Amino acid sequence: MPEEIPGPRCACGRDGCIEAFLSGPGLTLDHLLATGEAREPADIAARAESGDRGCAGTLERYEERLARALASVINLLDPEVIVLGGASRIERLVRGVPARWGHHVYSDTVATRLVKAAHGDASGVRGAARLW
């Protein structure tokens, strides 16, 4: 979105990388910039579920950004499933992101499922180990 340009500084040294928006630190920074409150992602999610409007707004922006990013993956690869890693601890993402990505996918229908990583943050490592 134009209002997101140039975007936050990424660890790679560039501005506006998707990692800078969709990482845990990116969520924390977005909330700080929007509300002036320094909160961790789990706290933001819990407070949003409890009705905190500032935290809910932060998660809505996060969901929309994640939906746009994953829509690009869907448009390019049309996967059957996308597995959320670290962010999957925020349950509402599994519900909210697919509800939003349809606006950004070129197809009339989206069959891709979004699921939580079965083994949390270790899922990627476990999957890589199974390749051997």
Of the chain, the end-to-end C-alpha distance in Å amounts to 41
CB of 30 closer than 8 Å to CB of 20 = no
Max Cα-Cα span within the chain: 47
Q: Which two tokens stand for residue 26?
A: 């990116």
Q: What is the mean pLDDT of the chain?
A: 90
Residue 47: pLDDT above 90?
A: yes
- The pTM assigned to this predicted structure is 0.88
pLDDT, one tens digit per residue, over 86-102 is: 766 788 999 999 999 99
Amino acid at 11: A
Tell me the mean pLDDT in the region 12-30: 91
Q: Which two tokens stand for residue 64?
A: 């929309």
Tell me the mean pLDDT in the region 122-129: 73
- pLDDT band for position 41 (cuts 50, 70, 90): very high
- pLDDT band for position 61 (cuts 50, 70, 90): very high
